[in-house]
Amino acid sequence: MRFLVVGAGSWGTAFARVLLDRGHDVVLACHTPEQARAIAETGRNPRYLTHTDLRGVEAVPLEAAPGDVDVVVLAVPSRAFADVAAGLPGDAPVLSLTKGLDPGTGERLSTRVGTRSVAVLSGPNIAEEVAHGLPTAAVIASEDGYLAGQLQHAVNSSAFRAYVNPDVVGVELCAAAKNVIGLAAGAVDGLKLGDNGKAALITRGLAEMARLGEAFGARPETFAGLAGMGDLIVTCWSLHGRNRRAGELIARGLSPEKAVAQIGQTVEGITTAPVLRELSQRVGVELPITDGVCAVLSGESLSELVSRLMGRQPTEE
């Protein structure tokens, strides 16, 4: 198959490598002509996953992206997703790799691709490990069962195992919410609150995700699967996790802006937290950890937040 991967950050770069390893033709649309030129000339991304071999990828600037492809893979930040999707050439189906919500509308990103068929790939997929060929599992969700099966066959391998799931709503809400919980888990690390506290936070975070999903009609089993528990665990514990790292840096005294600058890549949880809070308020679902993350991002003391969360009225689990 012929794939257009839009977005040459870490995840776009790693996924281009996955597709190459499966024998597909891959066009990688880059944010700048300079990045595209560097990849074309050296077979390496000059900024992200610089040791990943991209020889065989056709690198082009975004404005030169071709329309004659079988699938468009979107691996761009959530804040840019809708605009990029609206400007895509051709009418090929879209596979979204972006984990977040549309900041302008609060909608799930799969709803922002117009009339194209759409699928969503999610799960515990740290880009650095995927690029190194380490064992990885992912879930592909779509209301179009044929598209989901086609994509599963296209990417499945001995190193990258793909499952299908019809629950697009649940998979996308998991992908958005887990980044916010990842920020909180990083703050636990930064404050040195211990593994007990971190495990409790992750568990209660999963409960938050499931409550929100239930309100939107998602399947409960999705939250116990790769897109839910699987992605949440790796996001909250991996040293590569940007959201976990940002939370740790904020807990150590950096502003959110300085934390993102030090990481040097998109931290989706910072964008998603206020959008997720607003979404939960629309449907009357309580998300105390998400509310707390928003409070800290707005300047509240982390110590005060921890005291408030631990001092909440005891209740049933």
- Chain segment 188-229, per-residue pLDDT in tens: 999 999 999 999 999 999 999 999 999 999 999 999 999 999
pLDDT in tens, 231-264: 999 999 999 999 999 999 999 999 999 999 999 9
Q: Which of 99, 178, 192, 198 is catalytic?
A: 178
**Tokens 């969503």 -> residue:** 120
291 pairs with which residues across the strands? Answer: none
Neighbours of 46 (CB within 10 A): 14
DSSP codes, 135-167 = -EEEEEE-S-HHHHHHHHHHH--SSEEEEEES-
CA 14 vs CA 11, 96, 110, 156: distances in Å: 5, 14, 21, 15
Helix (H) or strand (E) holding 119: strand 118-122
The per-type count for the chain, helices as H runs and strands as E runs, is 14, 8
Distance CA(137)–CA(274), nearest Å, equals 29
What is this structure's pTM? 0.94
| Residue 28 backbone dihedrals phi, psi, to 5 degrees | -110, 110
* Average pLDDT rounded to a whole number, residues 9-32: 97
In the residue annotation, 178 being an active-site residue is answered as yes
Q: Is the pLDDT of residue 306 over 90?
A: no
Residue 118 has phi, psi (to 5 degrees) of -140, 145
pLDDT digits 0-9 by tens, 265-296: 999 999 999 999 999 999 999 999 999 999 99
Does 316 have pLDDT greater than 80? no
pLDDT one-digit tens code per residue, 57-112: 999 999 999 999 999 999 999 999 999 999 999 999 999 999 999 999 999 999 99
